[in-house]
Chains A and B, each alone.
Chain A
Amino acid sequence: MSEDFAVPEKSGAEILIDTLIEQGVDTVFGYPGGAVLPIYDALFQHKKIRHVLVRHEAGAAHAAEGYARSTGKPGVVLVTSGPGATNAVTGIADAFMDSIPLIVLTGQVATNLIGSDAFQEADTVGITRHCSKHNYLVKDPADLASTVREAFAIATKGRPGPVVIDIPKNVQVATTSTDVKRATSSRFNPAGEADYAEINRAVELLANAKAPILYTGGGVINSGPDASAALRELAELCGAPVTSTLMGLGAYPASGDAWLGMLGMHGTYEANMAMNQCDVMLCLGARFDDRVTGRLDAFSPDSIKIHIDIDRSSINKTVRVDLPIVADVGAAMRQMIEVWKGRKYKAAALDDWWARIKGWRAVDCLSYADSTQEIMPQYAIERLFAATKDKSPIITTEVGQHQMWAAQHFHFDAPNKWLTSGGLGTMGYGLPAAVGAQMGNPDALVIDIAGEASIQMNIQEMATATQYRLPVKVFILNNEWMGMVRQWQELTYESRFSESYSDSLPDFVALAEAYGWKGIRCSDPAKLDEAIAEMLAYDGPVMFDCRVHKTSNCFPMIPSGAAHTDMILHSDEVSGTMDDEAKALV
């Protein structure tokens, strides 16, 4: 040691902070505790990183997701060992399902105590192993910098996802002068461009199709803004209609001519019918999820299916496809455009196809019986959309009917504006996600479209918004029911409403005021526009308790286990029960 005293030694905590800064991190969502005190002390001394103190670690993870989804940058979470880490697990699992890049830094007990059931010890690496893209336990401060660098590459490249780095307390404190660099290149090589032979074949199929459809998903958004631009250009060139999963909304503009609306369980009639009847399906960064396909053996029976995805394990997982292409979807679409133009293909005459689509559109599947007495939930979303569409808002949601109504009746023209928990379906996602999105987009209008049940799952994050002066709006479609559960019970269990009533609700206006927010309540459709205007005019956080019709159901709906062609369009088509096969499906 005596010879090389000139080399300054750094603690693990300092190395960590320095590496985060080097990786371009400016915001961290976290909550302190014993096992991360050295990191918090290092943060205190560095002013380059903004730390957002959440009120529960689940909030930290969802806030980081909201930040990531709305900015395109990875979200960073910092929590303590044991309960801090376990509280963050839901958000990690959520990010894993929806392919959101997160770096989750967890404190751990000192290496010599691991395995001894020490205070606040939990096997974080074990618990998160199968709900993260990768995870690490770092046992030497000399490995920290290279681990963090590799973690950022893994989280953001290929199919994005959460990466957990568990750092024992003694590793945060111990100093080292060396920064051992591990070679990372050979370990992680995500797919890039597609093979031109495959692209040529895809273009040929698309150009010769009589009834093509583009089925797009969250992968288009994850691939970056250029992928959305490429999608628009490709759709224009080939003249095919475009539908999207819940996660892909905004990649193709809802105001575009080719837009069919969302597909799947609560998708539009025209999108699902077109999926069923198409002759060539081009799946772009989507994964044939069970909410999308409905009954598998009846899913688009006569189409040739092309699937472009960066993750090979998503291809042929549930639906066999004819032309699998493992590639970055944005790059592959650019290649398709280049080939299409190079070979001077013309869009096929699709008049017949569009005439059929027009017929399906005429069903007007999203229509609902409006009321002058009560606010219909669909009407509330429509009015919220009308009042905010020129402001290009960022919308987050909770989980339930309100989420589906938002997906149906709020329309997105740009990517990264729609933040929702799709794969995991996590109630309590929306408010912290809105906090994260507002941190990343200080000038944007950020609205959480919520349900009165879901909002209570992370309601403590109201204080976070207050502390950081985040003017987020929470628009609660308050139907006094866990509406989506009530709907399934009505449809499947002969209206035996077991435990789905939202009893003992707080007074949301008083609650808002208690947190230093503005509270607004509205139950009169005639006054709704005015109340929404009041919410938007307020320069600060607002909780809007929108009292809506209590027993509306969300239609159209493909009951679980049914085919795309068996959509229920209105409540009068509901039988009230289902067979056991259908009951067993999620």
Chain B
Amino acid sequence: MHIKQELTERHVLTLTVDNEAGTLARIAGMFTSRGYNIDSLTVADISEDHTTSRITIVTRGPPPVIDQIIAQCERLIPVHKVTDLTEAGPHVERELALVKVRGTGDQRVEAMRLADIYRARVIDATVNSFIFEITGGPDKIDTFVALMREVGLVEVGRTGIVGLMRGAEGS
């Protein structure tokens, strides 16, 4: 007998939650305890009175599992609203990355040239290193990081994505 693998889809979920102790652990832990995937998770306070946070989770699973994930999130007491941006229609996704490269001579020039093409900004520079700041969809960042590997990548920090629906309406 072998373990079977299933075809999965990538979905971006946003959750409006109470900003209180344990909420993040409750949600992240629910994903692990039920065997769901988390590709990325971001959380920040978004309300004027600091009572509400917004969590963006990128997850993966077969469609019925995605349905279950949403229902299980909704079951948690501090979760007020769950939106599946991937299902809801056109939306934007952005992520920020900080990318450090080291090098001199041609390598350094090439790093700078690529950064320019990808509209990455230099936010720190020494004689033999740069830190670039880049924002964009996850694909763009993946490609940029892959290119930087060729020209002296030292390390990367990524925020994980946040997303909003397009158009005038809130989710």
Contacts and interface: CB of A to CB of B under 8 A. Distances in A.
Nearest to A161: B75
Interface string B60-75: 0000100110011011
A154 to B, nearest CB: 6
Interface of B: 1, 18, 21-22, 25-26, 29-30, 33, 64, 67-68, 71-72, 74-75, 77-78, 80
Contact of A584 (B1, B25, B74, B80): B1
Given A129-B29, A130-B29, A581 B68 contact: no
B77 A187 contact: yes
B68 A313 contact: yes
B64 A312 contact: no
A129 B25 contact: yes
B166 to A, nearest CB: 27
19 contacts: A130-B29, A130-B30, A130-B33, A133-B77, A135-B22, A137-B21, A137-B22, A154-B77, A187-B77, A188-B77, A312-B75, A313-B71, A313-B72, A315-B71, A316-B67, A317-B68, A317-B71, A320-B64, A584-B1
A316 B71 CA distance: 10
Contacts of B78: 187
Contact of B18 (A187, A315, A317): A187
Interface string A128-163: 011001110100000000000000001000000000
A580 B1 CA distance: 6
A137 B80 CA distance: 20
A134 B67 CA distance: 22
B77 A134 contact: yes
A25 interface: no
A189 to B, nearest CB: 10
Interface string A550-586: 0000000000000000000000000000011100100
Nearest to A580: B1
Contacts of A311: 75
B21 to A, nearest CB: 7
Given A188-B77, A580-B1, A125 B22 contact: yes
Contacts of A126: 25
A313 B74 CA distance: 8
A188 B79 CA distance: 10
A160 B72 CA distance: 15
Nearest to A583: B1
Contacts of B71: 312-313, 315, 317
Contacts of A320: 64
Given A125-B22, A154-B77, A316 B30 contact: no
Contacts of B75: 311-313
Nearest to B26: A129
B53 to A, nearest CB: 14
A467 to B, nearest CB: 37
Nearest to B75: A313
B108 to A, nearest CB: 47
B67 to A, nearest CB: 6
Nearest to A581: B1
B61 to A, nearest CB: 13
Contacts of B74: 312-313
Contacts of B33: 130
Interface in A276-321: 311-313, 315-317, 320
A229 B1 CA distance: 48
Nearest to A163: B77
A326 to B, nearest CB: 10
A401 to B, nearest CB: 28
B1 to A, nearest CB: 4
Contacts of B64: 316, 320
Contacts of A187: 18, 77-78, 80
Contacts of B22: 125, 129, 135, 137
Nearest to B71: A313
B6 to A, nearest CB: 14
Nearest to A316: B67
A136 to B, nearest CB: 8
A317 B22 CA distance: 26
A514 B94 CA distance: 71
- Among B22, B25, B33, max chain A CB count under 10 A is at B22
Nearest to B78: A187
Nearest to B2: A580
A579 B77 CA distance: 42
Interface in A164-192: 186-188
- Among A313, A315, A320, max chain B CB count under 10 A is at A313
Contacts of B68: 313, 316-317
Interface in A388-417: none
Nearest to A313: B71
Contacts of A130: 29-30, 33
A399 B51 CA distance: 45
Contacts of A125: 22
Given A154-B77, A186-B80, A187-B80, 14 more contacts: A129-B22, A129-B26, A130-B29, A130-B33, A137-B22, A187-B18, A187-B78, A311-B75, A312-B71, A312-B74, A312-B75, A313-B72, A313-B75, A316-B67
B5 to A, nearest CB: 15
A13 B71 CA distance: 37
Interface string A314-352: 011100100000000000000000000000000000000
A585 to B, nearest CB: 11
Interface string A92-110: 0000000000000000000
Nearest to A135: B22
B113 to A, nearest CB: 50
A581 B30 CA distance: 27
Nearest to A314: B71
B149 to A, nearest CB: 39
B9 to A, nearest CB: 16
B36 to A, nearest CB: 12
A137 B22 CA distance: 9
B18 to A, nearest CB: 7
Contacts of A313: 68, 71-72, 74-75
A428 to B, nearest CB: 24
Nearest to B20: A136
Contacts of A129: 22, 25-26, 29
Contacts of A315: 71
Nearest to A130: B33
A186 B74 CA distance: 14
Interface in A481-515: none
- In the complex, the 10 A-B pairs of residues with the closest C-beta atoms, listed nearest first: A313-B71, A580-B1, A130-B33, A134-B77, A312-B71, A313-B72, A313-B75, A130-B29, A129-B29, A581-B1
Nearest to B79: A187
